[in-house]
Copies of this chain bind each other. A is one copy, B any other.
């Protein structure tokens, strides 16, 4: 087994363990027994339990970020938004692990970790806000501070994923996306 494979294997085990037990209840013993590896080996690949969790987290943040593609303004924009949302829900609900780790464990472990989390949310929010601002300039998007607007939209993505995880439900991404599209197009209230 090459070091790269070994690292990948251990990362996968760690991911599983952190997702099922959470950061604090997961012990290094759990991870190594899941990976079938000696204690020392763990520390050959990760500086600490903390660093291992960070690696898992980064991997997840990357996969989530990668799900969102830049909008090409020369093509059908609502369609691209829809596809982005679908990929995003896909990435967030491909397994139970991402929501647990990203939404329930990531915050509040330590300052350094919150640092990274802030970076992730900021990047996501800024990216969306930029797209919304562009949309405003082109007349596609209604008025309002694009940063606040971005948070509202992100909230509409996060909450269904979070609650589905909390209740152990399977999320029906399609229907959530449909409804989100409807809300974004027409709002919630009728006159």
Name A's B-contacting residues (CB within 8 A). 22, 24-25, 78, 100, 103-105, 107-110, 114, 117-118, 121-122, 125, 132, 135, 139-145, 148-149, 151-160, 163, 166-167, 175-176, 178-180, 182-190
Contacts and interface: CB of A to CB of B under 8 A. Distances in A.
Contacts of A152: 155-156, 159-160, 176, 179-180, 183, 188
Given A140-B190, A159-B155, A145 B108 contact: no
Contacts of A183: 142, 144, 149, 152, 183, 187-188
Contacts of A184: 187-189
17 contacts: A24-B108, A105-B108, A114-B166, A117-B166, A121-B166, A132-B188, A141-B188, A142-B186, A148-B176, A148-B179, A152-B183, A155-B157, A155-B160, A156-B156, A183-B187, A185-B188, A185-B189
B107 A144 contact: no
A158 B156 contact: no
